[in-house]
Structure formats: C-alpha cells, structure tokens
Structure 1
Amino acid sequence: MHSHVTRRATMMTVGPALRRGLSWTLRSVPPMLPTPALPFHRPGWIYEEKYDGWRIMAYKQGAAVRLLSRNGIDYTGRFRALAAAIASLPDVTLLLDGEVTAFDAHLLSRRAFLHPDPPAVVTPPIYIAFDCVQASGRDLREHPLGARREVLERLIADHHLLFPARRLPAHGLAAWAEVQRRGYEGLVAKDESSAYRGGRTRSWLKVKSSR
C-alpha cells in the first residue's frame, strides 16, 4: 500500500512538470529506490559507486529536455549545460535515471558543491547516469538491467558532462573495500537481471559509508 501511494504521489508531482509548456508523449516514471543494507556479496549482482548528489530523472523529447527531481521539482534551468548535453544525444525520445553531482580534487562526489557559492570546485555539475528507462520510443523497463546498461553506455560514450555510474569490483566485499579505501559515499548493489520498477525495491540495495 505504501509503495502504491508513493508512486501515485510521484506521478502527481512529476506529471505537471513534464507537461508544462510542452506536448510530451513521454509518460512520467517514478524512480527506482534502493533499500538500505549492510555489505554483502551475491552471485548475479553488480556493484556501483554511490554518489553524493541530487537524484534527477532526465526526460528528452526532440530538442526539449526536462531535468526533474524525485519529487517533481524542475531543475532544467539550474543545470542548463547538462540539459543541453542531453538534448544533443541522438535518440529522439529518452528517459535517463541518474544523479547530478560535482567532484572535488580527489574526484569524490560532493552534494554541497551544487549549492550557490560552493567551496573550491574541480568539476562543473556532472550527470552520472545509472539507468536508461526509455530510448528511441522503446520502453526498456522490462528489459534486464544488463541490457539497459549496454544501451546507456552506447548513448553517452565519450561525453564530458555525462558519465555512466562507475562499476566497482565484481565481488561485493571487494567492492565495499574499494569504497572504504577511496572514501566514496557508498555503493549500490543491483540484481543484473532486474527490471526497472518505480518505488522502493530490494533488487537494488545501498550501503552507505561513514565518510
């Protein structure tokens, strides 16, 4: 019941933001939310760096782009360079799930650098994409994560503002050791066979660091 209410509330907030000023054929999709967990290893799962930033769904239709938070707040105007970068991608329609962040001199993500007058920033805002939900008119939600990742990597290859989420070592405990060694925000473990399901899920699990 709770997940149903959450999805409905997200659709109510995201929908109007998408429709404002444009005739959108893309339907709003609530983001897939990982469940907190402790470090673990599980066969068939992959491990990605967890970023300290703002969760953003990127909708593209033709040359028009909307960057919407998980609560439906429109950040397109705030991150114009990222919107332009996504608009330049070749697919006519596109829906990406990712995180906007900026990095310090040690290439660690820092949410604080997205606020006005940040401390010394090494990078501009970067869009870290970790899923491709729709592409070229195809709804990819029922495709396994591994297939969606292949589409994502093809789409944003060699782009200086758009990057796929960093993959960590294949063994979950080795991935966690790298997180601690490098000082990352944490990791997100994902079932590589999982479909994309909006709302809280146990097919994605997040392990946060105490950095």
Structure 2
Amino acid sequence: MTKPFEFCKPVSKQAVPTGPDWIHEVKYDGYRGRVIRHGDAVQVRSKAGLDLTYRYPMIVEAARMIRAKQFIVDGEICVMDVRGISQFDWLHSGKYNDDAQLYAFDIIALDGDDLRGLELEQRKSKLAKILERRPQGIFVAPFERGDIGPQLFEVACDMELEGIVSKHLKRGYRPKLCDWVKVKNRSHPAFSRVADQFG
C-alpha cells in the first residue's frame, strides 16, 4: 500500500471566508476517512490510521468499480437518512456499516502521481472525473463558490446540518499550513460533543 499521507484538517473560525477564490462545502457529521486503492487492493483508513476496510463494504466495492487503478481519495464516512442528512449516532452505533458511504472532497494521489502540490481547483477536477459515473458508495462533495458562503452557512443551520467547510481554490494540500476553515452550527449535536470532550 502507498505510504499514508497526513490529513489536511480544517481550522475552526467564527466567520465564513468570502471572495472569488473560496469554495464552500457542507460539513457532514461522520468519520474522516481515506480510501486507498492500489490495483485490486483497497483500504479504508481513519484519521488515526485505523484500518476500517472490513467495516464499510459499500465504500470498498465502490472503489473497486472506479476505472482508475491507483488513487487516494480523502473524505468523510457517513450514514445518511432519507433527507440526505448524515446521522453520526447511526454511524457510531456500528449497526449501519453496510449503508455507510464516502462523501469525497479531495484526491491526493492518482495513477502514481502525488497531487498534493496541485491547486485544489485542479484536484477537484480530477476527483470529479474519476467519479463521473460514480457507483453507489462514494459520492462527490458538491460546493458553492465565492461570496455565498455566509448565506450557505445560514441555510446549513436551518437544515440542522453541522456547518460548512470553506477552502481556498488556489492552494495545495498542505497539512502544516491548511487553508481550510470550518464554521460550525453551535446548535448541532456535534458542537456539544466537542464541548463535552474538551470541557
């Protein structure tokens, strides 16, 4: 297997960034994960490096159906309700492992090439291409661009979502200098989980 890369982790902020070079994605409430394929071998890895391959068969099968034979895709492992909203408790219970999907928002390696130095806009294009006819189990994160971020955050809160993540389109995948910003819905259960964890 390809040596694992360090994850790029969004920084918490109070305000959503705006401008033409920023994009905004819904923040799904799940487990951060990475799907690694090398030939016929597929792994699903957690942020802590745990091997979750055996737990999420639909994600693994979807990865095997993609035409590219070597890639590393970054995303969030989620279990969705009928409204398309991620349910952390369902995922955490382990009772819905067969229904878990990957909300894919980045690609950092493809066909032997390390893509971390490319701008996010270029990586997004490559990700969309390999998942163009995506099988069920992995879906591309939709995003909005520019000054719409604050309004999108309000909509996310109204829909009882966890929040949004904003990313600069002209930056590489830089874990040490991450250009990703997360703004959380303070009324969402995830906000309380973090507050309880850190007191």
* TM-score calculated relative to the size of structure 2: 0.86
Which blocks of at least 5 consecutive residues in structure 1 are unaligned?
A: 1-23
What is the 5 A alignment of 1:54-65? 54-65=31-42
Contact 2:16 2:183 in 1 (8 A): no
The equivalent residue for 1:28 is: 4
- Measured in 1, the distance between the counterparts of 2:106 and 2:11 equals 17
Which blocks of at least 5 consecutive residues in structure 2 are unaligned?
A: 189-199
Contact 1:168 1:178 in 2 (8 A): no
- Measured in 1, the distance between the counterparts of 2:90 and 2:184 equals 20
Choose the corresponding residue for 1:103, options 73, 80, 95: 80
Bigger mean CA deviation after superposition, 173-182 or 161-170: 161-170
- Measured in 1, the distance between the counterparts of 2:166 and 2:103 equals 16
* 1:149-186, Cα deviation, whole Å (9 max, x unpaired): 01111111232221111314642212112212222111
Contact 1:156 1:164 in 2 (8 A): yes
Compute the displacement of 1:40 (Å): 2.5
- Measured in 1, the distance between the counterparts of 2:47 and 2:165 equals 18
- Measured in 2, the distance between the counterparts of 1:88 and 1:177 equals 37
2:94 pairs with 1:116: yes
> Which residue type is aligned with residue 138 of structure 2?
L
> Which residue type is aligned with residue 13 of structure 2?
A
Instruction: Classify the secondary structure of the residue corresponding to 2:85.
Output: coil
Instruction: Classify the secondary structure of the residue corresponding to 1:27.
Output: coil
Bigger mean CA deviation after superposition, 67-76 or 151-160: 151-160
Choose the corresponding residue for 1:156, options 124, 131, 142: 131
* 1:107-156, Cα deviation, whole Å (9 max, x unpaired): 211121122336xx9x9211100100001111110100011001111111
- Measured in 1, the distance between the counterparts of 2:33 and 2:17 equals 28
Choose the corresponding residue for 1:125, options 91, 97, 100: 100
Compute the displacement of 1:198 (Å): 2.5
Instruction: Classify the secondary structure of the residue corresponding to 1:94.
Output: strand
**Runs of 4+ off more than 3 Å:** none
How many aligned positions are there? 183
2:147 pairs with 1:173: no
The equivalent residue for 1:6 is: none
Choose the corresponding residue for 1:84, options 39, 56, 61: 61
Change (3 A) 1:200 1:93: same
Change (3 A) 1:148 1:41: same
- Measured in 2, the distance between the counterparts of 1:200 and 1:33 equals 9
Change (3 A) 1:116 1:70: closer
What is the 5 A alignment of 1:170-209? 170=146, 171-199=148-176, 201=178, 203-209=179-185
- Measured in 1, the distance between the counterparts of 2:145 and 2:181 equals 16
Contact 2:16 2:181 in 1 (8 A): no
- Measured in 1, the distance between the counterparts of 2:162 and 2:144 equals 13
Bigger mean CA deviation after superposition, 38-47 or 169-178: 169-178
How large is the RMSD of aligned CA atoms in angstroms? 1.8
> Which residue type is aligned with residue 95 of structure 2?
D
- Measured in 2, the distance between the counterparts of 1:130 and 1:117 equals 25
> Which residue type is aligned with residue 94 of structure 2?
P
- Measured in 2, the distance between the counterparts of 1:146 and 1:111 equals 29
